[in-house]
């Protein structure tokens, strides 16, 4: 039997009735997000909710049904999480919508929802007072129809199960594409709103590597809005950037901005006022239009929020960060992180080519460690690479500011299984090197690679632990720190073994090899590597190898993203058949220096006596 049909007027009356019932039950009218948020959201710290000036336009756009997508590429500290969390509250309470949240993996989704978003849910009575049918970190269902599901992009099954109208993908540059043929993860995610009346797709991330950044790709296909400001001096309209900052070297407190048009100085207060009055304009310098993919880019010079209390102002804070980059252990990595998180831009690789062996041979210096070590050497370390038929050893001198001097490279012939070979090593490691102030020096620490023949090597290092002879092992993963803080105790009887982050170490060594000596009278740059013009570091080093620097420069690298930290790191690989013992030995010596971590000031003053 056919069901009775509603007449048109009956249907209209019912719709109207439902709408009125809605209003009566809710005791409040429908408001837009910009109207609703300041009235109903309570910040976790008890202060009233306020949009930051840059957030007003995005707040309007997040729920605009005419925009196929909204991409936000903003600096760290912009308040993106604050804006998105508020929008989630609105989606649940006012729209009673279904929300899908995707992070690169489940743990990241869990962390963001559990530790960021939940705070705002809990402090906002309009949400906290709603009755919940399910309250798990990754699945929340409210009895008003609102629903929130969190998932990891690494689970296609989870993505396929999702049904939602509001789709938020964060950290999209850290999403790893797997080898399955299901296509782009973000496309798969966006399919989950197919056929729905409301479809809001939000994408955010710090950008990563130029040409490989997903958030760049989304921003590039959008209308590319930038926050334009007017110069406080000349009214010229432009986009502020950290490259307009100027300060006296080593005095970041003097930082200010220079207007690209009138070239006049703009102080912190002027910068803030300019940013507050900033206006979003698209790629054609027009007000953002409806009906297009929206993209917002925001660099840190537009910051209007608090600054770290240790500094006079935000410009001072940022300048200090840039100053710190110069003296950091790994300047290139610091630069990448800064460009990604503060300029909110992808970075281009600076080291296009590694140095060439000939250039490095030409930079060798005229001194001979057998005659006398340079006075800057305050401690020496030694590293041993174990091969089936020989041991390769390298001795390195260390001084303040990570400056180092290569002292010796020696190959001890003999099977690594034979006691005689290790006896020869014992004799060699006790060798003393002449020093102008200390008489002579022997290695303060010796590290032996135990990647292969581990038990044999522990038999050697174990009984010599008190003489600081340690086993080490290179870690495979790309984001391991240079050396583990504490050794693992292994074998019987237990002997210490340190784990080495070889990729981080090689990145440092390749950068340091490129450093040029300073002009006469100036100090050497941090981490400078001095190589003497002696037989040990020549074209014949390493026996069958083609030379010392050929071995050091044997490896090639590509950038890979660490899934643990989200940062890009250099991943090294040795082409088949290439000898690279010299590079490994430099890595191990670097680790030995870190293990010792001496107070060079104290050593230097003792030597002076």
Contacts of 73 (CB under 8 A, 6+ apart): 204, 205, 206, 207, 215, 216, 219, 295, 296, 297, 298, 344
Kindly state the DSSP code that residue 5 receives in the 8-state scheme.
Answer: P
Q: Does 236 bind Zn ion (CB under 5 A)?
A: yes
Residue number, 236 or 427, with CB nearest to Zn ion: 236
Q: At its nearest, how many Å lie between Zn ion and the CB of residue 240?
A: 11
Q: Does 259 bind Zn ion (CB under 5 A)?
A: yes
Residue number, 230 or 410, with CB nearest to Zn ion: 230
Q: Does 267 bind Zn ion (CB under 5 A)?
A: no
Angle at the Cα of 536 (from 388 to 433), degrees rounded to 5? 100
With CB under 5 A as the contact rule, which of the stretches 13-21, 225-233, 314-322, 418-426 interacts with Zn ion? 225-233
CA atoms of 358 and 232, how far apart (whole Å): 53
Q: Does 265 bind Zn ion (CB under 5 A)?
A: no
Q: Does 246 bind Zn ion (CB under 5 A)?
A: no
With CB under 5 A as the contact rule, which of the stretches 84-92, 105-113, 227-235, 472-480 interacts with Zn ion? 227-235
Residue number, 240 or 404, with CB nearest to Zn ion: 240
Compute φ and ψ for 457, nearest 5 degrees: -70, -40
Contacts of 471 (CB under 8 A, 6+ apart): 447, 448, 450, 454, 457, 458, 461, 490, 495, 496, 497, 498
Q: With CB under 5 A as the rule, give the number of residues binding Zn ion.
A: 7
With CB under 5 A as the contact rule, which of the stretches 19-27, 238-246, 262-270, 393-401 interacts with Zn ion? 262-270
Residue number, 19 or 236, with CB nearest to Zn ion: 236
Compute φ and ψ for 300, nearest 5 degrees: -70, -15
Q: Does 234 bind Zn ion (CB under 5 A)?
A: yes
| Long-range CB contacts (within 8 A, 24+) of 277-282 | 277/53, 277/229, 277/230, 278/53, 278/54, 278/227, 278/228, 278/229, 278/302, 279/227, 279/228, 279/229, 280/54, 280/57, 280/225, 280/226, 280/227, 280/228, 281/225, 281/226, 281/228, 282/223, 282/224, 282/225
Locate 231 and state its tokens.
């110069």
Confirm if 550 and 418 have CB atoms less than 8 A apart. no
Contacts of 75 (CB under 8 A, 6+ apart): 298, 299, 300, 302, 303, 341, 342, 343, 344
Residues numbered 393 to 432 that lie near Zn ion (CB under 5 A) are none
Q: Does 261 bind Zn ion (CB under 5 A)?
A: yes
Locate 495 and state its tokens.
């002997």
Among 262, 400, 430, 489, contact with Zn ion (rule: CB under 5 A): 262
Pattern 180-219, Zn ion, x by CB under 5 A: ----------------------------------------
Q: Does 233 bind Zn ion (CB under 5 A)?
A: yes
Q: At its nearest, how many Å lie between Zn ion and the CB of residue 258?
A: 9
Q: Does 231 bind Zn ion (CB under 5 A)?
A: yes
How many C-beta neighbours within 10 Å does residue 92 have? 25
Q: Does 582 bind Zn ion (CB under 5 A)?
A: no
Q: At its nearest, how many Å lie between Zn ion and the CB of residue 259?
A: 3
With CB under 5 A as the contact rule, which of the stretches 261-269, 425-433, 568-576, 595-603 interacts with Zn ion? 261-269
With CB under 5 A as the contact rule, which of the stretches 35-43, 169-177, 253-261, 419-427 interacts with Zn ion? 253-261
Q: At its nearest, how many Å lie between Zn ion and the CB of residue 270?
A: 10
Q: Does 230 bind Zn ion (CB under 5 A)?
A: no
With CB under 5 A as the contact rule, which of the stretches 206-214, 259-267, 523-531, 563-571 interacts with Zn ion? 259-267
Positions touching Zn ion (CB under 5 A) are 231, 233-234, 236, 259, 261-262
């Amino acid at each position: 039997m056919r069901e009775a049909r509603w007449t048109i007027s009956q249907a209209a009356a019912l719709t109207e009735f439902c709408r009125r019932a809605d209003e009566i039950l809710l005791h409040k009218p429908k408001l837009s997000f910009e109207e609703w948020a300041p009235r109903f959201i309570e910040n976790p710290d008890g202060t009233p909710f306020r949009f930051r000036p840059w957030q007003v336009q995005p707040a309007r756009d997040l729920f605009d049904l005419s925009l196929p997508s909204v991409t936000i590429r903003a600096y760290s500290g912009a308040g993106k999480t604050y804006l998105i969390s508020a929008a989630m509250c609105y989606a649940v309470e006012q729209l009673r919508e279904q929300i899908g949240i995707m992070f690169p993996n489940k743990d990241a989704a869990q962390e963001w929802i559990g530790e960021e978003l939940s705070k705002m849910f809990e402090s906002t009575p309009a949400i906290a007072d709603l009755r919940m049918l399910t309250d798990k970190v990754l699945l929340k269902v409210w009895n008003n129809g609102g629903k929130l599901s969190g998932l990891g992009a690494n689970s296609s099954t989870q993505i396929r199960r999702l049904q939602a109208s509001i789709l938020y993908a964060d950290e999209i540059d850290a999403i790893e594409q797997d080898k399955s043929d299901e296509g782009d993860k973000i496309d798969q995610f966006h399919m989950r709103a197919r056929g729905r009346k409301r479809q809001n797709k939000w994408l955010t991330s710090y950008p990563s590597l130029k040409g490989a950044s997903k958030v760049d790709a989304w921003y590039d296909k959008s209308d590319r809005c930038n926050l334009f400001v007017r110069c406080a001096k000349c009214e010229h309209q432009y986009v502020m950037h950290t490259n307009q900052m100027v300060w006296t070297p080593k005095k970041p407190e003097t930082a200010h901005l220079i207007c690209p048009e009138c070239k006049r100085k703009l102080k912190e207060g002027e910068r803030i006022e300019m940013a507050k009055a900033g206006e979003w304009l698209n790629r054609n310098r027009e007000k953002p239009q409806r009906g297009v993919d929206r993209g917002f880019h925001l660099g840190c010079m537009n910051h209007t929020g608090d600054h770290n209390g240790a500094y006079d102002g935000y410009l001072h804070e940022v300048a200090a960060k840039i100053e710190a980059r110069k003296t950091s252990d790994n300047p290139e990595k610091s630069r990448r992180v800064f460009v990604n998180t503060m300029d909110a831009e992808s970075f281009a690789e600076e080291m296009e080519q590694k140095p060439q062996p000939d250039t490095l041979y030409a930079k060798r210096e005229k001194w001979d460690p057998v005659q006398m070590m340079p006075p800057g050497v305050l401690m020496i370390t030694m590293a041993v690479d174990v091969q089936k038929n020989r041991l390769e050893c390298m001795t390195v001198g260390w001084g303040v500011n990570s400056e180092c001097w290569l002292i010796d490279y020696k190959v001890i012939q003999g099977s690594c299984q034979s006691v005689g070979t290790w006896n020869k090593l014992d004799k060699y490691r006790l060798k003393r090197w002449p020093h102008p102030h200390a008489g002579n020096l022997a290695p303060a620490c010796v590290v032996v690679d135990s990647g292969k023949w581990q038990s044999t090597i522990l038999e050697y290092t174990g009984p010599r632990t008190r003489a600081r002879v340690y086993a080490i092992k290179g870690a495979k993963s790309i984001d391991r720190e240079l050396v583990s803080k504490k050794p693992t105790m292994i074998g019987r009887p237990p002997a210490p073994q340190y784990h080495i982050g070889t990729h981080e170490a090689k990145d440092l060594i390749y950068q340091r090899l490129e450093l040029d000596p300073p002009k006469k009278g100036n100090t050497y740059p941090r981490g400078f590597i001095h190589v003497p013009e002696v037989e040990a570091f020549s074209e014949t080093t390493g026996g069958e190898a083609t030379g010392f620097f050929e071995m050091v420069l044997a490896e090639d690298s590509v950038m890979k993203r660490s899934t643990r930290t989200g940062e890009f790191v250099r991943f090294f690989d040795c082409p088949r058949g290439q000898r690279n013992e010299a590079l490994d030995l430099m890595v191990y010596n670097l680790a030995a220096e870190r293990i010792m971590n001496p107070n060079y000031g104290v050593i230097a003053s003792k030597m002076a006596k």
